[in-house]
Structure 1
Amino acid sequence: MISQGLVNIQELDPAILVDLKYSTTDNFVGKDVYGDLTRAYLQPEMGARLVQAHKLLQKANPGYKFLVYDAARPNSVQYELWKALDLLKIPEASKTQYVADPKIGSNHNFGCAIDLTVADEKGVPLDMGTKYDFFGPLAYPRSEAEMLRQGKLTSKQIANRKILRAAMTQSGFTQNTTEWWHYDGMSKKAARAKYGMIK
Structure 2
Amino acid sequence: MKAILTAFVAIAAASSAHAQSLPGGFVYLRDIDPSIIQDIRYATSNNFVGRPLRGYGAGECVVKREVGMRLKAVQQELSGQNLSLKMFDCYRPARASLDMVAWSQNGRETAAERRYNPKISKTELFRLGYIASRSQHSTGAALDLTLVDLKADNSAKYDSSKAYADCTAPVEARAPEGSVDMGTGYDCTDVKGHTAAPSIAPGQRAWRKRLVAAMSRQGFVNYSKEWWHFSLPGAGGAAYDFPIQPRKR
- TM-score interval (norm. to shorter): 0.7 to 0.9
**More relative contact order, 1 or 2 (CA 8 Å, 6+ apart):** 2
- SS in structure 2 at match of 1:131: coil
Query: Unpaired runs of 5+ in structure 2?
Result: 1-19, 107-121, 155-177, 242-249
Higher mean C-alpha deviation, range 71-80 or range 84-93: 84-93
Give the 4+ runs in structure 1 shifted more than 6 A: none
Give the TM-score normalised by structure 2: 0.68
**Contact 1:20/1:39, CA 8 A, preserved across alignment:** yes
Amino acid at match of 2:219: G
Per the alignment, residue 55 of structure 1 pairs with 76
Determine what percentage of the aligned residue pairs are the same residue.
28
Q: Distance in 2 between matches of 1:106 and 1:173?
A: 17
Q: CA deviation at 1:182?
A: 0.4
2:127 to 93, 98, 105: 93
Q: Who wins on radius of gyration, i.e. which is larger? A: 2
Amino acid at match of 1:43: K
Among 95, 98, 102, the residue aligned to 1:83: 102
CA deviation after TM superposition for structure 1 residue 78, in Å: 0.8
Q: What's the counterpart of residue 226 of structure 2?
A: 179
- Distance across 1 between alignment mates of 2:126 and 2:147: 32
Residue in 2 aligned with 1:129?
183
In the alignment, structure 1 segments of 5+ residues that lack a partner are 148-152
Measured after TM superposition, the shift of residue 14 of structure 1 is 1.1
- Tell me whether 1:30 sits opposite 2:46 in the alignment: no
More helix by share: 1
Task: Give the structure 2 partner of residue 15 of structure 1.
Answer: 35
Task: Quote the offset at 1:160 in angstroms.
Answer: 1.0
Match for 1:111: what amino acid? G
RMSD: 1.7
Asked if the contact 1:127–1:157 (Cα under 8 Å) also holds between the matched residues in 2, the reply is: yes
Match of 1:155 among 202, 206, 210: 202
TM-score, length of structure 1 as denominator length? 0.84
Q: 2:86 aligns with which of 62, 67, 82?
A: 67
SS at match of 1:93: coil
Deviations 1:131-166 (A, max 9, x none): 100001000014x23x2xxxxx10001111112111
Residues 46 and 27 (structure 1 numbering): CA distance in 2 closer, same or farther, change over 3 Å?
same
Aligned match of 1:40: 61
Task: Say whether the 8 Å CA contact 1:40–1:72 is kept in structure 2.
Answer: yes
Q: Which residue number in structure 1 is paired with residue 140 of structure 2?
A: 111
